[in-house]
Amino acid sequence: MKFLLSNLLFMCCLGMYAQEAVIYGKITDEKNQAVPYATVVIKKTSRGAMADEDGIYKITNLDAGQYTIQVTAVGYAKFSQEFTLNQDENVELDVTLETDLQALNEVVITSNRVKETLDEVPSSVSVLTSEQIENYGQTSTNIADVLLEIPGMAFSTNQTSNTGQTLRGRKMLVLIDGIPQSTPLRNGSRDVNTIDPTTIERIEVIKGATAIYGNGADGGIINYITKKTHSDKPFEGTTIIGSTGALKTIDKTVGANITQTISGNTNKLGYVASGTFRQTGVFRDADGEVISPYYGLGETNQYSLFGKLNYQISKKQNIELMYNYFSSNQNSDYVSQVGEYGETPTIGIIGEDLGADQGNRYNHNVQLTYDYFNIFGETDFKLNLYAQDFRTVYGFSTFFYDPDLGFDGGQSSIISTKKGARFNFNSPYTMGGVTGNVLYGIDVLNDLTAQELVDGRAWVPETDMTNIAPYAQVKALYNNFVLKAGIRFENIGIDIDDFTTLKVYNLGETTPSRGGVNVEGGKLEYNATTFNIGLRYNKLDAFQPFISFSQSFSIADLGRTLREATENTVSQINSDAVIANNYEIGFASRLGNTRLSGAAFLSTSKFGATYNETPNGIFEILRQPERVYGFELALDTKLTSNLNLGGSVSYTEGKLDSQNDGNYDRYINSDRIPPLKTVTYLAYNWAKKFNARVSYIYAGKRDHFNPNASGEYSYGQGPISDFGIMNLTASYQMTPTTKIGLGIENLLNKDYYNLLSQFSARDRDYIKANGARFNLSLIVNL
């Protein structure tokens, strides 16, 4: 370690005295019109810039040497060119971009651990750009709503919980810059809402089972990629001021937010930092009634702090430090007035909550990334060292009543800390007419998760997981074919100390109905090998098909199993892992100004992860085999130079083999499987100053289950009625540095219930969705 630090210091000192050069120029299109805000990067370095409104760019502080410049802009084909810089030389390089509105390869993803364009990926991937995030976030500042239009993604809940918001009918692994946010050892469904949208540069969604980041990605991964500086100036900043509220019965609904971002490049140091404060008012339904605060997003205080430093040690070495903090806590003047499922909604009335503020109390993420390009030969090396510290608090419940200890109820809290390291090597190769790369390395992760009550009582014992996973991924390109294949070896050990299950009493009784079981701890071990292989053909723009097979590895909510344990040793608990197999066939097409893509998928697993509610209210995990299947279609077409029309269809269904006899005879609950979803939108752009977009989002019916003899539905089996909502966003560029925006959620003030309210079949959860809400914003760039 001392040797490495000494080398780093030595190379830093050399960089301080190196001769530096400059590259600059103007970016235009075929008509010699300026292309504003294009992204310019020097490949395999941290240097880059964003062109100004006149298409002018400038990159300073470059060492002498040979480089490759890359220029990208939405609506244009990617441009790359090699150039050579001499000491103290200023090189002018003007760039002309060719219009290519439907180019798939203009989108670069990094969630596969190495940069690659979409046409190099033989599977379904969705990417939300910074412009799309800003647009969708204009309607709702909740990141779960920003994800809503992604094909395959289920509907959001309008709550802190993302229960039911699955990806292709299975749980997904949520990441921030590759750092796991999910808590698969005790899934609390709070991982989606763990970051503020203003911190995100883009969102990458890889669909289908994948083991690329380890435990918990049966449905795929969602990777929030945080912002980095694109400026070549020493300082620039952006200020965002906004206000939200209801359009009907605005009383007490007005909220406010402010975000300040600064960024820049000084010598070889790049930086970006931001802070956000949001305060939401009361949420109201379409009738103007206060929505129940139960796990709600109304009356919350949200704080976000983010910073990223990037230092170019040398032409070949770069180091980056990222930190992100997020907190969202509810402080409501209302309490729930419980309604009747299927009859009257649960609403909010003035009252005092018996518990502490609920919400994601804190989420700290820190990561150090070290890149060494051409560490040996042409092999690149990347090291990620990361840590996460997370705590979420749930609402007060009399379920935790304990007369012996004098508690009238309680609040549960999930606490999770993760520490990890990723050692990643990327070696390119050429063999005859075949080119490609081999990606290989090892992941190390320690995950310490527990669920305890705010008053200190333990509910789920501390589970200490260590995961060591070597992996390798090969990509080969030959005559328009792209072949990818990979393997990963999971080696997981989980240590559990001796514990006693929490005593549970019926309210008013003095004898526990269950719990108080002494459970002997022990160690659980999981060893699994997962594979993936995919093939894509890119010769014809009109039809680029792909086919793939991939696997994931996950532990099916071990914490829920432990807290209901009746066995006397951990070794007797049924804790078999879930291996999900994802089969997929799809295509992408470009036909003039029209882009069309689609995929059909089948996901199978020998062991299931579906919750079942027993007659006494205990949740157990059904371990029967499962099949989840469906399809997705997406279309985007340019009607005129200013008008775009698009949309998508997402269909998912799932069944399980209840008798383990090969007959898939029972539908999977709707907390896993969403109904049909369609999205239709019309977008207008005028002179790059005024933008407007209207979207219509439709949820179909899903009614596969029957009530019991008392006429009640089990959790997750309530019938779902269809509904549709319309959203509107608009923005106007007042000056080159100032923009105003308006978003309206539920434009037509549709009166409806969210999916969670319907499928949960519980009185307390029977809560209406938001009525029409506005979001005003002012953005000023310094």
- DSSP sequence for 18-31: S-EEEEEEEEE-TT
- Secondary-structure breakdown of the chain: helix, strand, coil percentages, each rounded to the nearest 5: 10, 55, 40
User: What Rg value do the Cα atoms of the chain yield, rounded?
Assistant: 26
**Residue 616 confidence (pLDDT) above 80:** no
Q: What does the alpha-carbon distance between residue 770 and residue 586 come to, in Å, rounded to a whole number?
A: 36
Q: What is the pLDDT of residue 2?
A: 41
**Residue 240 confidence (pLDDT) above 60:** yes
Q: What does the alpha-carbon distance between residue 144 and residue 328 come to, in Å, rounded to a whole number?
A: 14
Instruction: Decide if 753 contacts 767 (C-beta within 8 A).
Output: yes
Percent share of the chain, pLDDT over 70: 94
3-state class (DSSP) for residue 548: strand
Instruction: Decide if 457 contacts 429 (C-beta within 8 A).
Output: no
What are the angstrom distances between the C-alpha of 196 and each of 142, 146, 257, 304, 375? 8, 11, 11, 6, 36
Tokens, residue 102 = 């439907």
Query: What topology is assigned to 1-100 in CATH?
Result: Immunoglobulin-like (2.60.40)
Quick one: pLDDT band at residue 768, thresholds 50, 70, 90? very high
Q: 512-555, pLDDT tens digit by residue?
A: 998 999 999 999 988 889 999 999 999 999 999 999 999 999 88
Q: Which residue has tokens 């080398």?
A: 7
Q: What is the pLDDT of residue 119?
A: 87
**Residue 111 confidence (pLDDT) above 90:** no
Q: 546-579, pLDDT tens digit by residue?
A: 999 999 998 878 888 888 887 777 877 766 778 9
Find the mean pLDDT for residues 680-709.
Answer: 95
Q: What is the pLDDT of residue 6?
A: 43
Q: What is the pLDDT of residue 267?
A: 82
Q: What is the pLDDT of residue 505?
A: 94
3-state class (DSSP) for residue 515: coil
- The region of weakest confidence among 155-159, 186-190, 232-236, 378-382 is 232-236
Q: 126-174, pLDDT tens digit by residue?
A: 999 998 999 999 999 899 999 999 999 999 999 999 999 999 999 999 9
Quick one: pLDDT band at residue 303, thresholds 50, 70, 90? very high
Find the mean pLDDT for residues 644-673.
Answer: 95
**Residue 359 confidence (pLDDT) above 80:** yes
Q: What does the alpha-carbon distance between residue 223 and residue 200 come to, in Å, rounded to a whole number?
A: 10
Percent share of the chain, pLDDT over 90: 74
Measuring CA to CA, which residue among 424, 425, 421 is closest to residue 386? 421
Q: What does the alpha-carbon distance between residue 361 and residue 177 come to, in Å, rounded to a whole number?
A: 21
Dihedral over Cα of 287, 292, 293, 294: its sign: negative
Find the mean pLDDT for residues 588-610.
Answer: 91
Q: What is the pLDDT of residue 112?
A: 85
**Residue 405 confidence (pLDDT) above 60:** yes
Q: Terminal CA-to-CA distance of the chain, rounded, Å?
A: 42
**Residue 496 confidence (pLDDT) above 90:** yes
What is this structure's pTM?
A: 0.89
**Residue 351 confidence (pLDDT) above 70:** yes
525 burial class (0-12, 13-18, 19+ CB within 10 angstroms)?
A: exposed
DSSP run (H or E) holding 2 = helix 2-17
Q: What does the alpha-carbon distance between residue 117 and residue 589 come to, in Å, rounded to a whole number?
A: 15
Q: What is the pLDDT of residue 566?
A: 78
Q: Are strands 20-28 and 90-92 parallel, antiparallel or unpaired?
A: parallel
Q: What is the pLDDT of residue 486?
A: 96
**Residue 4 confidence (pLDDT) above 50:** no
**Residue 444 confidence (pLDDT) above 60:** yes
Q: Which residue has tokens 């909502």?
A: 725
| Cα 480 off chain centre by | 31
5 burial class (0-12, 13-18, 19+ CB within 10 angstroms)?
A: exposed
Q: What does the alpha-carbon distance between residue 120 and residue 661 come to, in Å, rounded to a whole number?
A: 40
Average predicted confidence (pLDDT) for the chain: 91
**Residue 15 confidence (pLDDT) above 60:** no
**Residue 503 confidence (pLDDT) above 60:** yes
Domain boundaries, the chain: 1-100, 221-233+289-319+338-781
**Residue 104 confidence (pLDDT) above 80:** no
- Asked if the 221-233+289-319+338-781 domain carries CATH number 2.40.170.20, the reply is yes
Q: 695-726, pLDDT tens digit by residue?
A: 999 999 999 999 998 899 999 999 999 999 99
* SS3 of 79-97: EEEEEEECCCCEEECCEEC
Q: What is the pLDDT of residue 477?
A: 95
